[in-house]
Amino acid sequence: MEGFNHKDLLGMGQLSVRDIELILDTAESMKEVSQRDIKKVPTLRGKSIVNFFYEPSTRTRASFELAAKRLSADTISLSSSGSSMTKGETLMDTAKNLQAMNPDLIVLRHSSSGAPHMLAPEIKAGIINAGDGTNEHPTQALLDLFTIREKKGRLQGLKVAIIGDIKHSRVARSNIIGLKKMGADVTISGPPTMIPVNAESLGVDVINNPAEAIKDKDVIMVLRIQLERQSKLLFPTAREYSTYFGINRETLKNAKEDAIVMHPGPINRGVELASDVADGPFSVILEQVTNGVAVRMALLYLLVGGHKSGNID
């Protein structure tokens, strides 16, 4: 198989178009493994992966664990509350102690932007950024690209609207970089207080009114309001946010007939997304979660070097 010459996955900017295509193509094979009765192949037998989640997670953490297990890698999981960081150990000391146990990969989620970038040059194991502060969430963007390509058959030339708290969203940033790289047009939408000041420099259009923003779009990606990252509320009440910026059946009347609605989760139902849309015919939200396992299997396989020793099986 063609080479994938990266030790770490820190952000979407480091990946070439060919890298992204290779990850998505590999994830197609991995998805087939996940659909078998026996969902396990020996590909990463003898490899060790540490999942270190310094911030809460349901989807990313569970899917990295399942991905490693389906490839027969050995895994351990640490959370901040269960680690000696609660006794004052630094992140770097924690990582160096984990490195002393000779893992092949460390998957890190951290509330500080740049935390995985700080570890990567110091640690021999590969580092996967599983979300760092408001910076990036590259594996989410890759599973989103996979889901869009699976549903639409391509990425080039698609029109995508990303709606919500763009300013605090690592998912938005990674998706903007990835979608633009793959030739999609991106429009962002949300309250002016949640749009980055330099938005146009990201190569996106800005339309504050979501009903306008979703017109003629192939993909509508709705984002959660990141209350945990806002120093003060950037809109008066959740009810007002829902009235002016929430996506519901009425707003969706402006969408293309074959548009898909995405959300990385967790959803605040009734705030940024109404239940009749989240659970409705346009929604591919749970398919994103399914695809998250396949894409993370592909990344473990490519980063640990399984592709150098033969087939997936």
Point out which residues bind ligand CP (CB under 6 A).
57-61, 131, 137, 140, 264-266
- For ligand CP, the closer of residues 57 and 208 by Cβ is 57
Contact 291, 140 (CB under 8 A): no
- For ligand CP, the closer of residues 64 and 241 by Cβ is 64
- For ligand CP, the closer of residues 195 and 289 by Cβ is 289
Which residue reads 């004052």 in tokens? 88
Question: For strand 185-189 and strand 205-206, is the pairing parallel, antiparallel, or unpaired?
Answer: parallel
Least CB distance to ligand CP at residue 59 (A): 4
- For ligand CP, the closer of residues 94 and 291 by Cβ is 291
Amino acid at 3: G
- Nearest 10 degrees: Cα torsion 178, 176, 222, 206: -150
Nearest to 22, CA basis, from 289, 286, 291, 301: 301
- For ligand CP, the closer of residues 41 and 299 by Cβ is 299
Contacts 24+ apart (CB under 8 A), 274-278: 274/242, 274/246, 274/247, 274/248, 274/249, 276/248, 276/249, 277/247, 277/248, 277/249, 277/252
Q: What angle do CA 252, 200, 229 make, to 5 degrees?
A: 75
Least CB distance to ligand CP at residue 230 (A): 17
Helix (H, G, I), strand (E, B) or coil at 267: coil
Least CB distance to ligand CP at residue 119 (A): 19
- For ligand CP, the closer of residues 58 and 243 by Cβ is 58
Least CB distance to ligand CP at residue 87 (A): 26
Question: For strand 185-189 and strand 260-262, is the pairing parallel, antiparallel, or unpaired?
Answer: unpaired
In angstroms, the CA 183 to CA 7 distance is 26
In angstroms, the CA 97 to CA 47 distance is 18
- For ligand CP, the closer of residues 41 and 300 by Cβ is 300
Nearest to 74, CA basis, from 34, 104, 52, 96: 104
Least CB distance to ligand CP at residue 272 (A): 14
The residue whose Cβ lies closest to ligand CP is 60
- For ligand CP, the closer of residues 179 and 312 by Cβ is 179
Helix (H, G, I), strand (E, B) or coil at 50: strand
